[in-house]
Structure 1
């Protein structure tokens, strides 16, 4: 029997705790992401229970951002300034791991999902991967050489301001930038744009053409700036509206204007794809972080 690993996917609306034995998930708990103390306290309870039953070999934490990832920084493991009420400055690592001393890795939820798709899903065999989630927010995780990209912070692709679709005057909903890509195509942005909850919008609504145009601009920008071999799309909007995929692919090719020799109408279908793991990408990515943390533990 292999040593157990635990993973936490801390999302903006839902948090998931999973326990694995190898690649097999053996336990799973999902709770709403509410007040920080309540949410993180409940997740800590799951971790401590599992650790008491069988000592955990590693813990992976995949958190919504922005989050401080540099271990030598004073705010390591803290959520940075965020529009999510009550969460700015919260010490996620401290509260999640209270009373425990196990190897752990922290990363963004999108970097973790990229790791999962790279190892088990739609990006296997690729050296450079960009995972984009389109749901409550828009986030991007980037891998180069199979490793998540970190720098001064971490990629924040959802806040890119891109060329707008001609004739689209929707001002966007982002509290920081208005019509950045998150302000244009996230679930809350779609509700504001269409005047109804995102899940109620009919697939044949003509407004989806503008959304596909925005997403195609995002895909083109990613290919130009990161040279990713594959862009993997996840999140409720991307996975729940698969008809958007061919539309945004066509817009990405148009936007690139044949500048990238490897991207055309035939190859784009292999470059921009939907997540193979679906909504399991985040939890499985947290387990991959735990696996890597366990491998780093001294003998």
Structure 2
């Protein structure tokens, strides 16, 4: 029987039906508007299929603590119409199948773990660098949730001595997301990231910040593989620059072998999130 998946993003929703093998049978994408309008489109899409369950990888922060009275609620999101919206309860009114909820980045990590570049690994970390920065972690087929929505994009890092940019995070200023997200790049240089491809200094600074973050994640979680996706990472030269800074800053403290295998790009052609959402319903 088919399974449904929802990659619930702040900009767009991706809905799909597929199989536990990772095969996508059908998929649709539409803009994230108001909760009511968006979820009506979700209901209308899935009403065309007979499905056993739906996995949801949601933007956030979203309350993942099953003991919490606000479990399944979108919390302090910049999208005002979705703030404090009880996504899980609303979804139960629109569809009558079991629901499995996790973060969007955890779903992407699970997608690459089960069907992508990390299939042979016991653990992997997936980082997305785009409008925001987030990360998800999978070990032995299970995503890590913790008490609340993990916010790895908001860790504090050391600023480069030549960087006088204050950062754009409204809560933390110069956290990782405040310094290295797509909007931070645009604010610092006055141009969108994709228009700065030939500016070496942009990507050196970006790699410096992302390498610090990966060192911190590695020291805490010790993943077997780190996968970096998102719009900013379309600048493919970034991967080697990140590896170079990672090697320099880690200074052989942890031996990780070939860094080209350790720090990699995703391999599911931007379907890691939706495939991972479906995989949430099969999680061990």
**Range class of TM-score, shorter chain:** over 0.9
SS in 2 for 1:211: helix
| Native 8 Å contact 2:18 2:278 kept in 1 | yes
Cα distance per residue 1:27-56 (max 9 Å; x no partner) = 111011122222222112212332xxx2x1
How large is the RMSD of aligned CA atoms in angstroms?
1.6
CA distance in 1, matches of 2:136, 2:124: 8
SS in 2 for 1:97: helix
| Native 8 Å contact 1:44 1:97 kept in 2 | no
Structure 1 residues 98 and 49 mapped into 2: Cα distance closer, same or farther (>3 Å)?
Answer: farther
Q: 1:177 maps to what in 2?
A: 172
Q: 1:43 maps to what in 2?
A: 42
- Structure 1 unmatched ranges of 5 or more: none
- Structure 2 unmatched ranges of 5 or more: none
Q: 2:86 maps to what in 1?
A: 91
SS in 1 for 2:253: coil
Structure 1 residues 85 and 201 mapped into 2: Cα distance closer, same or farther (>3 Å)?
Answer: farther
TM-score by length of 1: 0.90
CA distance in 1, matches of 2:37, 2:191: 31
Q: 1:268 maps to what in 2?
A: 259
SS in 1 for 2:71: coil
Matched, 1:149 2:144: yes
CA distance in 1, matches of 2:131, 2:175: 14
Matched, 1:254 2:261: no
CA distance in 2, matches of 1:128, 1:20: 24
Shift, 1:218, TM fit: 1.0
Give the count of matched residue pairs.
283
Matched, 1:65 2:64: no
Q: 2:276 maps to what in 1?
A: 285
Segment of structure 1 superposing worse, 22-31 or 221-230: 22-31
Cα distance per residue 1:53-102 (max 9 Å; x no partner) = x2x11110010121111223211111111222222101112223324321
SS in 2 for 1:269: helix
CA distance in 2, matches of 1:199, 1:224: 31
One of 197, 201, 205 as aligned partner of 1:206: 201
Shift, 1:113, TM fit: 0.7
TM-score by length of 2: 0.94
